[in-house]
Amino acid sequence: MPDVEVSRTETLSRQEAARRLAALAAALADSGRAEVALGASTLVLHVPDQVRCEVEVEVEGDEVELEIELTWSTAPAPAQSPVEIPAADPAPAEHAPSKQAHRARASR
């Protein structure tokens, strides 16, 4: 069960639905502070730079349902660990014969 869930269903004209979606899109693009009207109340959401987006279309009989769902975490982002640069490979041992030396011995 979610901590909080607020839902409202209403009938809108296509133009009004477009205006609301455009306002939400502009808020997401500009500041990440989105206001969602829920009847007489307004819910203010602070949306981070990265979100997960799910789009679902369901057709059942003569009804089509389009859902656009944005999901994000409110937990603080984990601190990034410093990047380790691996040490350079040690120089090859001098006692190991080179391929040329090995070939020279083989041809004798």
Average pLDDT, the chain: 83
Cross-strand pairs, 52: 71
Q: Tens of pLDDT along 79-88?
A: 777 777 777 7
Segments making up each domain of the chain, as ranges: 14-71
Residues 79/92, Cβ–Cβ less than 8 Å: no
Whole-angstrom Cα distance, residue 45 to residue 23? 13
Those residues whose C-beta lies under 8 Å from the C-beta of residue 38, and which sit 6 or more positions away, are 6, 8
Q: Tell me which residue of 101, 92, 97, 47 sits closest to 73, measured CA to CA.
A: 47
How would residue 8 be classed by pLDDT, with cut points 50, 70 and 90? Answer: confident
Pick 1 or 24 by higher pLDDT. Answer: 24
pLDDT tens-digit profile of 20-35?
A: 999 999 999 999 999 9
Question: Higher model confidence: residue 40 or residue 60?
Answer: 60
Separation of first and last alpha carbons in the chain: 82
